[in-house]
Amino acid sequence: MRTEDLEEPLIKLKIGPQKEEITVLVDTEATRSTVRKLPQGCEVSHEHVPIIGVKGEVFQVPVIKNVQIELDDKFRLNDLVLIPEADNNLLGRDLRIALGIKITPCKGNFKIYSLTEEDNFEISNTVWYTGEAGKLNIQPISVEIQNPEIPIRVKQYPIALEGRKGLKP
């Protein structure tokens, strides 16, 4: 999936056992993915999670457990949050990471990319972590204490006599 120059980052997902197609708004600030209506064949669990809404108020919403989600050729099981009052279905950080979706702002619009196996091979091996120390050609910073014979002490938390007695074993 490579979507070019969208005014709003909208994508289509197939969710639930019936593979119901829904449109979701890719929300870079949302932690969890949400749906406005219960997908066919799914059940709401007894678990509720706190959500901070647009107005900044915290409220409890039900969770739909282990929903099958499909995007192109990627399948994932993920929990969704049911919020019927929401304006849009939201694709949060949880599913963006699981499905390998990247969103990039570009000239006032958005580009959405889905990382594929071919993309993994196109990435240069030099960008991956190797576990070796860096090889910068600079001198390390050297710090010398002016009077090393005088220990440096800074009293951080003054404790009253009663408190010191209480700390003794």
Lowest mean pLDDT among 5-9, 19-23, 65-69, 98-102: 5-9
Residue 4: its pLDDT value, please? 46
What mean pLDDT is reported for the chain?
A: 80
Walk me through the domains of the chain, giving residue ranges and CATH numbers: 2-117 (2.40.70.10)
Reported confidence tier of residue 126, pLDDT bands at 50, 70, 90:
low
Across 51-55, average pLDDT: 82
Across 120-141, average pLDDT: 66
Return the higher-pLDDT residue of 99 and 61.
Answer: 61
Return the higher-pLDDT residue of 86 and 103.
Answer: 86
Is the pLDDT confidence value at 138 over 60? Answer: yes
Q: Are 14 and 69 in contact (CB under 8 A)?
A: yes
Secondary structure (H, E, C), 46-69: EEEEEEECCCCCEEEEEEEEEEEE
Reported confidence tier of residue 2, pLDDT bands at 50, 70, 90:
very low
Provide the whole-model pTM.
0.60
